[in-house]
């Protein structure tokens, strides 16, 4: 695992945290503290691949990115992207999980904006509402559609449902069930 570091026009691809610390120490504007050094070591040792951004002063940062690239040219050409299992054609892991077909019981949780009439004023207002349901479905997306269809018959049609790909919908596969005849 290599680390790519960039601060304005200064950039470097290193193979160890010590090299990264030496590079950052050579930049006069960056104050290399023990906390920063420890955080860099923790980031390099962790099993996370998101880029890390460190504040130098207001609105000025340097970034650190983990990469499999062996050279700067490979990194720039994005030849060493971390392979994502079962993800192809640019699909995100969320879309793959939503469309993964396994017939069975699903539990879906939906946080949506429900239109209700205020008893005090008689006017309509939106209220954040959570709804959890268990249903038979072919996939997480099918469970989402079944939950929304159920809710549409029971709430005001102006209620707003989130995207199944967003953070306001989650589901889990509970287990197989007998196929319907």
Residue 55, SS3? strand
Separation between Cα atoms, residue 14 and residue 3, nearest integer Å: 5
Each as own residue / partner, the long-range contacts of residues 172-175 (CB below 8 Å, 24 or more positions apart, any chain) are 172/106, 172/107, 173/102, 173/104, 173/105, 173/106, 173/140, 174/104, 174/105, 174/106, 174/107, 174/134, 175/104, 175/105
- For residue 60, report the phi and psi dihedrals to the nearest 5 degrees: -130, 125
Q: What pLDDT score does 40 carry?
A: 92
Give Cβ neighbours of residue 136 (< 8 Å, ≥ 6 apart): 103, 104, 105, 106, 177, 180
Q: Which residues contact 4 (CB under 8 A, 6 or more apart)?
A: 11, 12, 13, 63, 64, 65, 66, 67, 69, 75
How many angstroms separate the CA atoms of 67 and 2, rounded?
5
Q: For residue 79, what pLDDT is reported?
A: 65
Q: In which region does residue 8 sit, left (phi positive, over 0), alpha (psi from -120 to 50) or beta (all else)?
A: left
| Beta partners for residue 136, in sequence order | 105
Q: Is the pTM of this model over 0.85?
A: no
- Longest CA pairwise span in the chain (Å): 73
Helix axes 34-45, 17-25, angle to 10 degrees: 150
Q: Check the CA dihedral 58-11-92-174 and report its sign.
A: negative
pLDDT tens string, the chain, 181 residues long: the values are 889 999 988 899 999 999 999 999 999 899 889 999 999 999 988 887 788 898 988 889 999 998 888 888 888 887 665 554 444 555 667 777 888 888 999 999 999 999 999 888 989 999 999 999 999 999 999 999 999 999 999 998 889 999 998 889 999 999 888 766 5
């Amino acid at each position: 695992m290599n680390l790519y570091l960039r601060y304005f026009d200064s950039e470097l691809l290193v193979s160890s945290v010590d090299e990264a610390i030496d590079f950052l120490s050579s930049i006069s504007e960056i104050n290399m503290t023990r906390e920063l050094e420890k955080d860099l070591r923790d980031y390099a040792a962790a099993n996370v691949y998101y880029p890390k951004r460190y504040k130098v002063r207001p609105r000025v940062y340097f970034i650190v990115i983990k990469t499999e690239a062996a050279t700067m040219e490979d990194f720039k050409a994005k030849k060493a992207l971390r392979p994502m299992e079962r993800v192809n054609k640019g699909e995100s892991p969320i879309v793959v999980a939503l469309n993964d077909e396994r017939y069975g019981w699903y539990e879906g949780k939906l946080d949506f904006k429900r239109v209700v009439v205020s008893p005090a004023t008689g006017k309509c207002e939106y209220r954040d509402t959570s709804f959890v349901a268990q249903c038979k479905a072919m996939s997480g997306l099918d469970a989402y559609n079944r939950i929304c269809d159920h809710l549409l018959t029971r709430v005001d049609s102006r209620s707003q449902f989130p995207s199944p790909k967003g953070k306001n919908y989650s589901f889990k596969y509970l287990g197989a069930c007998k196929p319907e005849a």
